[in-house]
């Protein structure tokens, strides 16, 4: 069973973090599901997400992602594009089918336009290159919370613009 208690270890090795509720207005408390196979990077991303969410649930595989999303019904999922061992986007299509209202932000070490387009076509609401997590992730979170189907523009001359995806 997945627990939402801070520091708890839940089903399939999920780990839950929670920030200090005293400093956060109640309407902003919500849950985000963070999925990445790389523990070191996940810890850093968790720290960023704790500033925007009441709780951060961390998972490290496709099965835990789908199970956690179904059980917790988080507001947002932040997922490494290469979460599945075969690097295909089946997990993203399954996640969007399982939780159609879930906002999905895809992270990737690959910043090519074709990779962005593939993620968006599979159902992602936003795409953030891993080299830009520190500057773009919270902007993407704000964008997907406020507007459906927004993505970072892949053109080099307008990196800060958002564009609609085909979801």
CB contact at 8 A, 95 and 77: yes
Q: How many CB atoms lie within 10 A of CB 67?
A: 19
Q: Which residue has the higher pLDDT, 100 or 26?
A: 100
Q: Tokens 């993505």, residue?
A: 151
CB contact at 8 A, 124 and 104: yes
Map out the domains of the chain as residue ranges: 11-164
pLDDT tens for residues 128-162? 999 999 999 999 999 999 844 444 444 333 333 34
The domain defined by 11-164 carries CATH number 3.30.390.30: no
Q: Has residue 6 got a pLDDT over 60? A: no
pLDDT tens for residues 77-115? 999 998 987 778 999 999 999 999 999 999 999 999 999
């Amino acid at each position: 069973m997945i627990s939402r208690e801070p520091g708890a270890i839940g089903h399939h090795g999920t780990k839950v973090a929670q920030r200090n509720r005293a400093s956060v207005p109640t309407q902003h408390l919500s849950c985000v599901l963070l999925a990445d196979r790389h523990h070191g990077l996940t810890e850093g991303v968790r720290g960023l997400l704790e500033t925007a969410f009441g709780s951060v649930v961390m998972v490290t595989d496709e099965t835990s992602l789908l199970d956690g999303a179904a059980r917790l019904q988080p507001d947002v999922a932040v997922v490494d594009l290469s979460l599945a061992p075969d690097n295909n986007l089946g997990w993203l299509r399954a996640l969007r089918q399982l939780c159609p209202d879930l906002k999905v932000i895809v992270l990737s070490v690959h910043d090519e336009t074709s990779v962005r387009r593939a993620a968006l076509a599979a159902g992602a609401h936003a795409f953030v290159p891993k080299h830009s997590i520190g500057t773009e992730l919270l902007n993407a979170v704000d964008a997907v919370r406020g507007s459906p189907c927004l993505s970072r523009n892949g053109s080099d001359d307008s990196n800060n613009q958002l564009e609609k995806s085909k979801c």
